[in-house]
Amino acid sequence: MIVKLKRSVNKEDVVALKEHLTSKGFEIHESLGHTYSIFGVVGDTAGFDLRSLYAFPCVDNVIRVQEPFKKVNRKLKSEDTVIDVNGVKIGGDKVVVMGGPCSIESREQLDIIAKAVKESGATILRGGAFKPRTSPYSYQGMGVEGLQLLKEIGNKYGMPVISELMSNEFIPEFCEYVDIIQIGARNMQNFALLKELGKIDKPILLKRGFSNTIEEWLMSAEYIMAGGNDKVILCERGIRTFEPYTRNTLDISTVPIVKKLSHLPVIIDPSHAAGKWDLVESLSLASIAAGADGLIIEVHHEPENAMSDGAQSLKPKKFKELMRKSTIIAEAMNKTV
Ligand code: PEP
Ligand code: MN
């Protein structure tokens, strides 16, 4: 880190600052100028609260040089991480497509949608059983029974399955019934949950919180990896901006940025970004062109009657068309769907 001192400083303050930094194990390289002095501070700052240095009256500015994330960092692992989910590869030269309903509603509903997404070429089945709804009066999901149906239908069509976990309480059930655990936008910084996920051996799809920075998102991934679980898939699902036309604003720039900063796979959820089904295709194709490792898309055969997110769900025919076009864009990116 770089510490810039104020123009006029009390010498005793500077001595105290130097002693403090040395006691923390840092090496100090001093650059003393006429108007300003700068300390180049060398050492591992990952666990150090840089802002604490502002408590010294002589400190004007502290600048971080090293990223605060380690295991997630591409500087520590240059090759792309590829996660194998029962033979389906996520990352590398693949574009994985996960499709299915926002909420699992019944065996029949899930069967119809799973059959359609499988026939269109998707390789992972999504379905929510525990739903994070804004209103307590909205449909909350089928719970564990939904997870059991998801596993049953996933097995029937030979597709690994993904579902959202909201609390530590159901980790054993998720380990039993799902192949990828989804952590939703609202729980991205539920650190108690992230710590528990670090202890298990299941791929985790970590969505970006709608008001979180890329660095905060990567630090949440770091929580999981620091605990010992290195199977993390990042998922951008749109962030809150001033634009009301879409439900969220898809931050497509996360793809090249995350690719530069991290070795982890990054996929896009255009459904929750757009909030409208007729925008999903364009956002999906743009995501693949930007270098995303995959998509997670909501599909429903009767979106007008869906228990949640019907407005953003694609009908099977539209999903099939999206898969056809995705294959073409993936090819241009030297990838296969
Ligand atoms: C979902 O996938 O249905 C969902 C609730 O996603 P998010 O956490 O991105 O809102
Ligand atoms: Mn949804």
Question: Residue 196 corresponds to which tokens in the numbers above?
Answer: 């528990």
Ligand 1 neighbourhood includes 272 CB (under 6 angstroms): yes
Report the separation in Å between the CA atom of 335 and the middle of ligand 2, taken as the mean of its atom positions.
27
- Ligand 1 atom, smallest distance to 182 CA: 2
Instruction: Tell me what pLDDT residue 46 has.
Output: 87
Ligand 1 neighbourhood includes 207 CB (under 6 angstroms): yes
For residue 317, count CB atoms less than 10 angstroms from its CB and return exposed for 0-12, middle for 13-18, buried for 19 or more. exposed
Contact 165, 127 (CB under 8 A): no
C-beta contacts of 182-186 below 8 A and 24+ residues apart: 182/126, 182/207, 182/235, 183/207, 184/132, 185/209, 185/210, 185/237, 185/272, 186/132
Cα angle vertex 239, ends 163, 291, to 5°?
75
Compute CA distances 280 → 89, 286, 295, whole Å.
23, 10, 10
Compute CA distances 84 → 21, 88, 107, 114, whole Å.
44, 6, 27, 21
Report the separation in Å between the CA atom of 237 and the middle of ligand 1, taken as the mean of its atom positions.
8
Ligand 1 neighbourhood includes 132 CB (under 6 angstroms): yes
* Three-class DSSP category at 20: helix
Contact 283, 254 (CB under 8 A): no
Which of 130, 237, 271 for a ligand 1 pocket mutation test, highest count of atoms within 8 Å of Cβ?
Answer: 237
Contact 204, 181 (CB under 8 A): yes
Nearest ligand atom owner, CA of 296: 1
Spatial distance between the Cα atoms of 296 and 237, rounded to a whole number of angstroms: 9
Ligand 1 neighbourhood includes 184 CB (under 6 angstroms): yes
Report the separation in Å between the CA atom of 186 and the middle of ligand 2, taken as the mean of its atom positions.
12
Report the separation in Å between the CA atom of 2 and the middle of ligand 2, taken as the mean of its atom positions.
44
- Ligand 1 atom, smallest distance to 184 CA: 8
Contact 28, 22 (CB under 8 A): yes
Instruction: Tell me what pLDDT residue 246 has.
Output: 98
Q: Which residue's CA is minimally distant from atom 9 of ligand 1?
A: 185
pLDDT by 10s per residue, the chain, length 337:
999 999 988 899 999 999 999 999 999 999 988 888 999 999 999 889 999 999 999 999 999 999 999 999 999 999 999 999 999 999 999 999 999 999 999 999 999 999 999 999 999 999 999 999 999 999 999 999 999 999 999 999 999 999 999 999 999 999 999 999 999 999 999 999 999 999 999 999 999 999 999 999 999 999 999 999 999 999 999 999 999 999 999 999 999 999 999 999 999 999 999 999 999 999 999 999 999 999 999 999 999 999 999 999 999 999 999 999 999 999 999 999 9
Instruction: Tell me what pLDDT residue 35 has.
Output: 86
Spatial distance between the Cα atoms of 2 and 35, rounded to a whole number of angstroms: 16
Report the separation in Å between the CA atom of 291 and the middle of ligand 1, taken as the mean of its atom positions.
22
- Ligand 1 atom, smallest distance to 309 CA: 3
Q: Which residue has the tokens 């059930």?
A: 173
Spatial distance between the Cα atoms of 219 and 223, rounded to a whole number of angstroms: 6
Ligand 1 neighbourhood includes 300 CB (under 6 angstroms): no
64 sits in which H/E element: none
